[in-house]
Structure 1
């Protein structure tokens, strides 16, 4: 998580709208990859909510997607749950 968001969570205050789901995605992606500095997340609005596009180093794509896409599906589920806690709808796309 970003330092500011981490401080806000410790103080019991909610993070700004949209930051929690993005922070969760960033934390998960950086934890899974060998090159955490290559993790990039772009946020774009959609009709139904927000789309978070995750980009990682080419060598880390297999780690983020997992066998039969199970890791990717788990990431999407956790990020969607974090967004739902804020009353938002978020989808995650993994782009190459």
Structure 2
């Protein structure tokens, strides 16, 4: 899966969870063997994306990791405050 479709996947997962879908922004930073995606949402939606004890964020990361399994690069998802 290419990087653009991973960004689209992140948005499609997060969009139903938030009250302000227009404030969803995903950026990527490429390093040697790693791609770091940074997800930012409206401040009021941050708790919804993280979930209780981080369960929702962990589930999102699991899906992204599985979707990028074919890639030779390690994929990481960070959620901006």
State which structure, 1 or 2, has the greater radius of gyration over its C-alpha atoms.
1
In the TM superposition, residue 29 of structure 1 has moved relative to its aligned partner by 1.3
1:32 equivalent in alignment to 2:55: no
Runs of 4+ in 1 over 3 A off after TM superposition: 85-88
In the TM superposition, residue 20 of structure 1 has moved relative to its aligned partner by 2.3
Aligned pair count?
81
1:1-96 equivalences under 5 Å are 17-96=2-81
Alignment RMSD = 1.5
* Cα displacement string for residues 14-53 of structure 1 (whole angstroms, at most 9, x for unaligned residues): x6x2122211111111121110000011110123310000
In structure 2, C-alpha distance between the alignment counterparts of 1:85 and 1:34, rounded to whole Å: 33
Q: Contact 1:21–1:80 at 8 Å: present in 2 too? A: no
In the TM superposition, residue 88 of structure 1 has moved relative to its aligned partner by 3.6
Structure 2: stretches of 5+ with no match in the other structure:
none
Q: TM-score, normalised by structure 1?
A: 0.76
Structure 1: stretches of 5+ with no match in the other structure:
1-14
Q: TM-score, normalised by structure 2?
A: 0.89
User: Which structure is higher in RCO with an 8 Å CA cutoff and minimum separation 6?
Assistant: 2
